[in-house]
Amino acid sequence: MNAVTTANATQNAKKEIRENGFSVIEGIYDDSEIQQLLSAIENVDTSGETFRKSANLFAIRQFLKEIPETLPLIFTDKLKHIIKEICGESCFVVKSIFFDKPGESNWFVAYHQDLTISVAKRIETENFGPWTVKQGQFAVQPPLDILEDIFTIRIHLDEANENNGALKVIEKSHSKGIYRPETIDWQKEKEITCNVPKGGIMLMKPLLLHSSGRTTNNARRRVIHIEFSNKKLPGNLQWSEKTVIPC
């Protein structure tokens, strides 16, 4: 994808995210770039508490902190252009996770919104709550304006389709505030499967209702999930993974 094509795709994505809550852009990483990323991931020590291993899922929380050598591999000129256009000059990373869903996985995730942020420590703050802790990481639900500001990029290191757990989303649900899955009106809402080719990215708003199904074709699905914001948290609250995007 050349510079002109990337610019056009980014403008289309910006409009789709605003209207529908998500967009897919193909061809951001080539096979060589993906292999470099996978090599860096495969060589890491997985004994720490930020690593989760099971038959159905392998995950690395605080991914960019755990494997900082992936930063220049992820933040290519193409991706930095997309981030700048969609989030602005001042945005930074606030969360990063690597997911590996093996081919034999039966992992299923029901419809939900991403309603929490990761913070460095628990500090009781007005309008922030409830709190949770996962693998030593504090998470809290912030006020709606902070959630509305965040956007997510999912980098696909394998093809994702309806047969190996590609995300399903409820179009436009990101604009409806806190939307409880049990209240979904299937007579009115539109479900879309977000197929993403290897090397492509999916951009989405965390308030978009989304789910993923079980793998039925024994195809692996590896994804790097990165969230961005440009908001400073109130008081002494600090983003736990705040990372400046490399120049």
What is the three-class DSSP state of 183? helix
Beta bridge partners of 98: 60, 224
With respect to residue 245, please indicate whether it lies within any of the assigned structural domains. Answer: no
Give the per-residue pLDDT at 57: 59
Residue 116 belongs to a domain:
yes
pLDDT value of position 21: 98
The answer as to whether 247 is a domain residue is no
Identify the pLDDT of residue 14.
94
Asked if residue 27 is part of any domain, the answer here is yes
User: pLDDT tens for residues 2-40?
Assistant: 665 777 888 999 999 999 999 999 999 999 999 999 999
Question: Given this model, what pLDDT does residue 215 score?
Answer: 81
Residue 164 maps to a domain:
yes
The pTM is what?
0.93
**Which pLDDT value is given to residue 216?**
82
Residues 6+ apart with CB under 8 A from 79: 28, 153, 201
Identify the DSSP state of 241: T
- Within-domain flag for 161: yes
Per residue in 46-103, pLDDT (tens digit) is: 666 666 665 455 888 999 999 999 999 999 999 999 999 999 989 999 999 999 887 6
DSSP string, 84-133: HHHH-TT-EEEEEEEEEE-TT----EEEE----EEESS----TT---EEE
Q: In the predicted model, what is the mean pLDDT of residues 165-186? A: 95
Q: Is residue 152 part of a domain?
A: yes
| pLDDT at residue 108 in the model | 81
pLDDT for the residue numbered 104: 62
Termini Cα distance of the chain:
21
Position 43 scores a pLDDT of 83
Residue 245: is its pLDDT beyond 60? Answer: yes
Q: What is the per-residue pLDDT for 139?
A: 97
What residue numbers bound the domain in which 210 lies? Answer: 3-229
Domain count, the chain: 1
Domain holding 78: CATH number? 2.60.120.620
pLDDT tens digit string along 93-143?
999 999 988 766 667 889 999 999 999 999 999 999 999 998 789 999 999
Residue 244: inside a domain:
no
Mean pLDDT score of the chain: 91
